[in-house]
Amino acid sequence: MSQDKIITIERHIIEGERAHPGASGSFSGLLRDLTLAFKLIWREVSKAGLVDILGTLGRENIHGDDVKKLDIFAHETIYKAMDHGGHLCVMASEENEDVLSIPDHYPTGKYVLIYDPLDGSSNIDANITIGTIFSLYRRITPSGPGSIDDCLQPGYKQIAAGYAMYGSSTMIVYTTGDGVHGFTLDPGIGEFLLSHENIRIPKKGKIYSVNEGNYHRWSEGMKKYIQYLCEEDPSTDRPYSARYVGSLVGDIQRTLLYGGIFMYPADIKHPGGKLRLMYEGNPMAMLIEQAGGRASDGVTRILDIQPKSLHERTPLFLGSGEDVMTAEQFLQGKREL
Ligand code: AHG
Ligand code: MN
Ligand code: MN
């Protein structure tokens, strides 16, 4: 996707904000601070193999996942980059059980940041793509320190969502509700430059992405859908190809650009799904919908789910509209092989 314009992400944010009359400029400042945090994390990730930050801290986070040192570094880096800018009233991180308050000596603002500081942690030691996922909401409490109420908002209330992807190149992909745009880091100048303007997901793909190791834990409908995708029928591009990175950011980036479907269904071990609604489901669902795709838990639109707790999980079916609708028909028992 060639770009004839050289536009930094900061310039893109400012121009985008001008399109929103009454925007205070605080939003631009917020995304600029977040971009700085991504550069600091990228610097650590890019030397992970050289510095003794590999290996786990030997303890588990609240989800029972092994915590890797880079998880904590990313968690703290984002908090410290965002806590003093005066744009936020509260934050929530996948690595912290409770909400994260803004220190008393800093001003508070009208936005809420919810983030997964390091997504794909199990891939760190293998130098496989990992990322950071973020969601932004407007506060709903009137003033003062933000609270859990400001965080437990349905995904359709997001005002922005996106991710940083630390891969063969480092990218930021984000939306503020006016389409999805990708920026690639030019390490030579330390700037993220517009490289993928207005990403649109194909209406139908030829790739499915799921951890098939869970096959025997799935519902009958889910098993039938995968069997359907693997049948020989060139007229419907079947069999599909299977691709699974094991980092949500990497799997979603490929799905956005190539089309197809990413799934993390409920199963016997994860009856409510494994991925987190607030930190992974909502931001990725906003991106997929803004790119013209579809995002559900197999029945309900992800962005319509009213969260009940900060770390609740949800099944995820994200991707090309036709593919997600076909999956929903099998999952709801409305379609047979
Ligand atoms: P995190 O590293 O933030 O815990 O996220 C890991 C998630 C997500 O990135 C990925 O899609 C999924 O875990 C992979 O899970 P499995 O290893 O169970 O397939
Ligand atoms: Mn994650
Ligand atoms: Mn994580």
Domains (range + CATH), the chain: 9-196 (3.30.540.10), 207-331 (3.40.190.80)
Distances (CA, A) of 53 to 122, 126, 167, 274, 284: 14, 13, 18, 26, 28
Q: Which of 44, 65, 83, 197 is catalytic?
A: 65
User: Looking at residue 25, what is its pLDDT?
Assistant: 75
Q: What DSSP designation does 8 have?
A: B
User: Looking at residue 91, what is its pLDDT?
Assistant: 98
In degrees and rounded to multiples of 5, residue 186 shows phi and psi of -95, 100
User: Looking at residue 121, what is its pLDDT?
Assistant: 86
CA distance 209 to 8: 32
Helix (H) or strand (E) holding 106: none
CA distance 238 to 232: 5
User: Looking at residue 1, what is its pLDDT?
Assistant: 46
Q: Which of 30, 31, 70, 118 is catalytic?
A: 118
16 CA to centre of ligand 1 in angstroms: 32
| Ligand 1 contact, 237 CB (< 6 A) | no
Q: Which of 17, 30, 34, 116 is catalytic?
A: 116
What is the band of 21 on the pLDDT scale with cuts at 50, 70, 90?
low
15 CA to centre of ligand 1 in angstroms: 34
CA distance 150 to 25: 21
- Positions of E strands within the chain: 56-60, 66-68, 88-93, 100-101, 111-119, 130-138, 160-166, 170-175, 180-186, 191-196, 207-209, 241-242, 261-264, 294-296, 316-319
With the most atoms of ligand 1 within 8 angstroms of its CB, the residue from 67, 96, 119, 269 to mutate is 119
What is the band of 124 on the pLDDT scale with cuts at 50, 70, 90?
confident
User: Looking at residue 213, what is its pLDDT?
Assistant: 97
Q: Is 90 helix (H, G, I), strand (E, B) or coil?
A: strand
| Ligand 1 contact, 274 CB (< 6 A) | yes
What is the band of 26 on the pLDDT scale with cuts at 50, 70, 90?
confident
Nearest to 302, CA basis, from 262, 246, 259: 262
Nearest residue (CA) to ligand 1, atom 14:
246
Known catalytic membership, residue 220: no
91-110: average pLDDT: 97
CA distance 174 to 266: 27
| Ligand 1 contact, 71 CB (< 6 A) | no
Nearest residue (CA) to ligand 1, atom 11:
248
CA distance 303 to 316: 11
In degrees and rounded to multiples of 5, residue 106 shows phi and psi of -110, 150
The mean of the pLDDT values for the chain is 92
For the chain, give the percent of residues with pLDDT over 90: 80
CA distance 299 to 329: 9
Known catalytic membership, residue 71: yes
166 CA to centre of ligand 2 in angstroms: 13
Residue 58 has pLDDT above 70, yes or no: no
Known catalytic membership, residue 336: no
116 CA to centre of ligand 2 in angstroms: 6
Residue 328 has pLDDT above 70, yes or no: yes
By the 8 A CB rule, do 220 and 166 touch?
no
With the most atoms of ligand 1 within 8 angstroms of its CB, the residue from 61, 269, 275, 316 to mutate is 275
Known catalytic membership, residue 65: yes
Nearest to 131, CA basis, from 81, 180, 82, 185: 185
